[in-house]
Amino acid sequence: MRVLGIETSCDETGVALYDSEQGLLGHALFSQVDLHADYGGVVPELASRDHVRKLLPLVRRVMQQTGTRPGDLDGVAYTAGPGLIGALMVGACAGRALAYGWNLPAVAVHHMEGHLLAPMLEENPPGFPFVALLVSGGHTQLVDVCGLGEYRLLGESLDDAAGEAFDKAAKMLDLDYPGGPRLAALAEKGDPRRFTFPRPMTDRPGLDFSFSGLKTYTLNTVRDHVLEDGLPDPQTCADIAAAFQEAVVDTLVIKCRRAIRATGRKTLVVAGGVSANRLLRERLEARLAQEGAGVYYPRHEFCTDNGAMIAYAGCLRLKGGQRENLDITVRPRWPLTELAES
| Nearest-angstrom CA–CA distance, 254 and 20 | 36
305 belongs to an annotated ligand binding site: yes
158 belongs to an annotated ligand binding site: no
Pick from 18, 5, 4: which is nearest to 70 by CA? 4
| Nearest-angstrom CA–CA distance, 54 and 64 | 16
CB 112 within 8 A of CB 136: yes
CB 144 within 8 A of CB 116: no
The DSSP bridge partners found for residue 270 are: 133
Cis peptide before 44 (omega within 30 of 0): no
43 belongs to an annotated ligand binding site: no
**How far is CA 282 from each of CA 86, 98, 102, 182, 278, rounded to the nearest angstrom?**
37, 42, 46, 19, 6
175 belongs to an annotated ligand binding site: no
277 belongs to an annotated ligand binding site: yes
| 51 Cβ contact list (under 8 Å, min separation 6) | 8, 13, 87, 90, 91
Pick from 272, 269, 287, 314: which is nearest to 130 by CA? 269
Buried b (16+ CB within 10 A) or exposed e, 288-300: beeeebebbbbee
| Nearest-angstrom CA–CA distance, 228 and 208 | 39
Residue 7 burial (CB < 10 Å; 0-12/13-18/19+)? buried
User: Three-state SS for 26?
Assistant: strand
| Nearest-angstrom CA–CA distance, 296 and 126 | 7
| Nearest-angstrom CA–CA distance, 247 and 146 | 30
138 belongs to an annotated ligand binding site: yes
User: Three-state SS for 188?
Assistant: coil
Q: Per the annotation, where are the binding residues for Fe cation?
A: 111, 115, 305
Q: Per the annotation, where are the binding residues for substrate?
A: 134-138, 167, 180, 277
Q: Per the annotation, where are the binding residues?
A: 111, 115, 134-138, 167, 180, 277, 305
